[in-house]
Amino acid sequence: MEFPFNINHLFSERISVLDEVLVAGRKSVGRPDHQANIATVIDELGKASAKAQQLPASITSASKMQSQKHQLYLLKDGERNGGRGVLVGFLKVGYKKLFLLDQQGVHIEAEPLCVLDFYIAESLQRHGYGLELFDFMLQHKNLEPVMMAYDRPSPKFQSFLSKHYCLTQSVPQVNNFVVFEGFFLNRAAAQ
Ligand code: ACO
């Protein structure tokens, strides 16, 4: 995704991690122009993700990021667009208190890290960028994908989880979150 400003001035790293402060590294501290452009990037990516998932409204925006304790991983390709850079996609995660059913149908209260939104620009899908972003997040959080919960995963995302992480067998829930076999097993082992 291209923008009318230089992406490399906003994001120095290939993958940037943003929280509610919406600052990507020291470069943007005290630069309202940079912060406004970062907000534009997040809003546009959020809209594109909602469109791709046929959602009625964006679930990711700069204002939502500022009011929620979520983390956003943004992937850029700094060389495209004549060296001005493009945004390839993003992954949003956050902790949620959930009531889940284990394999025996027993209610369990847990607060796992959840994947809340995930989007790679249409023309760049199926090129391994999603995997690069997801693997970066797993390393950053020091987490196995089976320990996470997934908020309404789309068919493409389900296929992604199956292909890259062999996550196929989900445990039925009464909410929109999906967890996979191993979630409860590994939790018990960790306690
Ligand atoms: N159709 C079916 N499966 C797909 C598609 C597609 N069009 N695109 C990606 N995948 C899955 C497949 O398993 C694919 O492997 P294959 O090509 O061998 O079939 C695998 O992902 C490819 O892996 P990557 O290249 O690393 O994934 P990509 O960069 O495409 O990112 C993502 C995956 C984020 C799901 C991307 O396809 C996308 O943005 N889709 C549209 C938005 C979306 O559905 N986001 C998930 C929302 S649900 C949530 O966030 C909780």
Query: What is the CATH number for 40?
Result: 3.40.630.30
Asked, for residue 141, whether it belongs to a domain, the answer is yes
Backbone angles phi, psi at 180, to 5 degrees: -110, 160
Cβ count near 36 (within 10 Å): 12
Percent of the chain with pLDDT over 70: 94
State the total domains in the chain. 1
Q: Do residues 47 and 111 lie in contact, with contact meaning Cβ atoms separated by under 8 Å?
A: no
- Please report whether residue 112 resides in a domain: yes
If you measure from the C-alpha of residue 125 to the centroid of ligand 1, how many angstroms do you get, rounded to a whole number? 6
Torsion sign across C-alpha atoms 177, 181, 185, 191 = negative
**Mind listing the pLDDT tens digit for each residue in 38-73?**
999 999 999 999 999 999 999 999 999 999 999 999
How far is Cα 191 from Cα 183, in angstroms, rounded to an integer?
13
- Does 89 map to a domain? yes
- Cβ-in-10-Å burial (0-12, 13-18, 19+) of 184 comes to buried
Ligand 1 geometric centre to CA of 191 (Å): 33
The parent domain of residue 159 ranges over 7-190
Distance separating alpha carbons of residues 7 and 34, to the nearest angstrom: 10
Cβ 151 vs Cβ 97: under 8 Å:
no
In a domain, 47, yes or no: yes
Indicate whether residue 153 lines ligand 1 (CB < 6 A): yes
- pLDDT tens string for the chain (191 positions)? 999 999 999 999 999 999 998 877 666 667 878 899 999 999 999 999 999 999 999 999 999 999 999 999 999 999 999 999 999 999 999 999 999 999 999 999 999 999 999 999 999 999 999 999 999 999 999 999 999 999 999 999 999 999 999 999 999 999 999 999 999 987 766 66
Residue 2 lies in a domain: no
- Centre of ligand 1 from the C-alpha of residue 27, in Å: 32
Inside any domain, residue 106: yes
**Atom 16 in ligand 1: which residue has the minimum CA distance?**
126
